[in-house]
Amino acid sequence: MKLLITGGSGFIGSNFIRYWLQTHPDDQIANLDALTYAGNPANLADLTQNPNYSFVHGSITDPEVVRQAMQGIDTVVHFAAESHVDNSITNPLAFVQTNVLGTAVLLEVARTAGVKHFHHVSTDEVFGTLQQTGQFNKTTPYDPRSPYSASKAGSDHLVRAYYHTYGLPITISNCSNNFGPYQFPEKFLPVMIINLLQGKKIPVYGDGSNIRDWLDVTDHVRGIEAVLQKGKAGETYLFGGGTELSNLQLAKKVVQLMGKAEDSIEFVTDRQGHDWRYAIDASESTKELGWKPAADFDTSLQQMIDWYKTNEKWWQEIQGRSSSARGGSLPTGKAGASGGKS
């Protein structure tokens, strides 16, 4: 099988590519990535000599680039997206351009190229916010509350429209907050880990009561693998880790694991339109795909902390590039709800 991965140099995309080539060594992967600030060639530097891996530098909004990248492709796995909620608040048009228009370009080229399976990776944030009880499932009405989640909701609707209108064989997955190695340093967990490594305080929005469901990135990748192997065209699958924690609970856990004091936590002004709680009901994915999260959260979190300790050069280089590109430092990551979806 020959796969085109969009956004493969990002967090989840690079983890997917590495996993897929390890478990499906006879398949070929082309990685289409514009290498914007969150796309990092270093994430896949170890694969540059792999004959089954190739890299295409370009934007998903460019039809000609997409047409060339999609030649001979059987399956598309679409990760590429602008994904940070804070950035969508300050620059919403960039999110519409990439997440909506970019997805439309991919779909149209996939339709004309006769792609056999188009899988679109989305987020639980399209469903809005939950209160104390309940979980998102695939019938939950869409209620996006940020420019980021609205742009992802728009892309979800386009993907479904191409199935119903043109018969393009699509699947969609919505996931909860991912975490793991290679996660970009602006996201909530990397911010906490890196700040503590640098002797800085860690910022938490509001009073830290906002709740997120955390999913090990490898479990998410395994879920996408199950969709590609067993999923039904036109269907949506949800993946969650089953680990709900308030942002303050998570911050205290990181502080404890890193041997720091709780006064390392500082509360900052809450985000505009901050969703209070996300939680996913993944029971249908378990029933239909045989998938369920396998990782132990505390073990995975410790492994992530250890990875950032061991790979200091990786995140320091990103901080240096971001400082030069933006004329200042990397965003402080005051992202108490930041999802790390891509």
Residues marked active site are found at 124-125, 148
3-state class (DSSP) for residue 3: strand
Which two three-digit tokens encode residue 106?
């991919």
CA distance 293 to 150: 27
Q: Would you say 78 and 103 are in contact if contact means Cβ atoms under 8 Å apart?
A: yes
Cβ contacts of residue 50 below 8 Å, gap of 6+?
21
Type of residue found at 161:
A
Q: Which of 76, 102, 65, 82 is nearest to 4 (CA)?
A: 76
Q: Which of 243, 259, 115, 264 is nearest to 177 (CA)?
A: 243
Q: Which contiguous run of DSSP H or E holds residue 179?
A: strand 177-179
Which two three-digit tokens encode residue 36?
């914007």
DSSP secondary structure letters along 301-317: HHHHHHHHHHTHHHHHH
Q: Would you say 130 and 136 are in contact if contact means Cβ atoms under 8 Å apart?
A: yes
Q: Would you say 281 and 240 are in contact if contact means Cβ atoms under 8 Å apart?
A: yes
Radius of gyration of the chain (CA): 19
Q: Are strands 53-57 and 202-205 parallel, antiparallel or unpaired?
A: unpaired
Spell out a b/e string for 240-268, using b for 16 or more CB atoms within 10 Å of the CB, else e.
Answer: bbbbbbbbbebbbbbbebbebeeebbeee
CA distance 238 to 280: 7
3-state class (DSSP) for residue 142: coil
- Cα angle for residues 59, 60, 63 (degrees, 5° grid): 100
Which two three-digit tokens encode residue 168?
């393009």
CA distance 233 to 163: 8
